[in-house]
Amino acid sequence: MLEIKNLHVRIEEDGTEIINGLNLSVKAGEVAAIMGPNGSGKSTLSYVLSGKEDYEVTEGSITYDGEDLLEMDVSERAAAGVFLAFQYPVEIPGVPTLTFLKEAMNAQRKQRGEEELTTPDFIKRVRAAAADLKIDFNMLKRPVNVGFSGGEKKRAEILQMSLLEPRLCVLDETDSGLDIDALKVVSDGVNLLRDPSRAVIVITHYQRLLDHIVPDTVHVLSKGQIVKSGDKSLALELEEKGYADIIGAAA
């Protein structure tokens, strides 16, 4: 489903190279974990997948469902089924969450040539998804993420993910800032979305999240490259030995 080949990325503003020849392949139905120390390029990878402007791809390719992902703009990628769950979801004053959700769901449907949702149908879907994630429906009348706690913001991200039904989910350090109960709710939300037709990329520092969202593959990112890949046992090994040992051995 996703094929990244020899990817090189730098920060547009100052030219700093962040990703240096990254190769990664993720199949439909697969849950791939990407782990790595601070500054290894994890968040950059998530931004490049979603199409953020501040990054420049200087070499390599990203193919998604047989299409050149780099040719699409941010909203086209989202409409094509790529979803980024943000590490730090932004607060947008003045835009009610429900308005935002409806616009997003209908924009994607429109780009895919589907009928827009009726208001009752929309509300029904949101109520059901909010209940699954233990989100108070009234909270969704507030502006996007404004006044939400850290945990509420992450749950709201997963709510958006379940409503938008993406085909490729990228979770950027979704565990950061979550207490144990919230981590459980968020992980359950992600697990509900596991599906043979859907791929999930879980980006994280810690093994802890992977106890809840058990990955099929684990990849270690260091200095902008995948230096080691394995199954879920690799995550446990990392937890035990630390990044330095694994990265040192791979280098």
Residue ranges that bind another protein, judged by CB under 8 A: 50-53, 73-75, 78-79, 83-84, 86, 89-90, 92-95, 99-100, 103-104, 107-108, 111, 143-144, 160, 164
Q: Are 152 and 177 in contact (CB under 8 A)?
A: no
Contact 229, 237 (CB under 8 A): no
Q: What is the nearest approach in angstroms of another protein to the Cβ of residue 2?
A: 17
For another protein, the closer CB: 172 or 238: 172
CB nearer to another protein: pick between 70 and 236: 70
Is the separation of the CB atoms in 202 and 215 below 8 Å?
yes
For the bound state, the minimum distance from the C-beta of residue 77 to another protein, rounded and expressed in Å, comes to: 8
Of 73 and 181, nearer to another protein (C-beta) is 73
56 contacts: CB under 8 Å, gap ≥ 6: 9, 10, 11, 12
Smallest separation (angstroms) from another protein to the CB of 84: 6
- Minimum distance from CB of 167 to another protein (Å)? 13
Both structure tokens of 213: 């969202």
**Angle ∠(113,91,208) on CA atoms, nearest 5:** 90
Complex with another protein: residue 83 or 148, whichever CB lies closer: 83
Do residues 97 and 144 make contact, with C-beta atoms less than 8 angstroms apart? yes
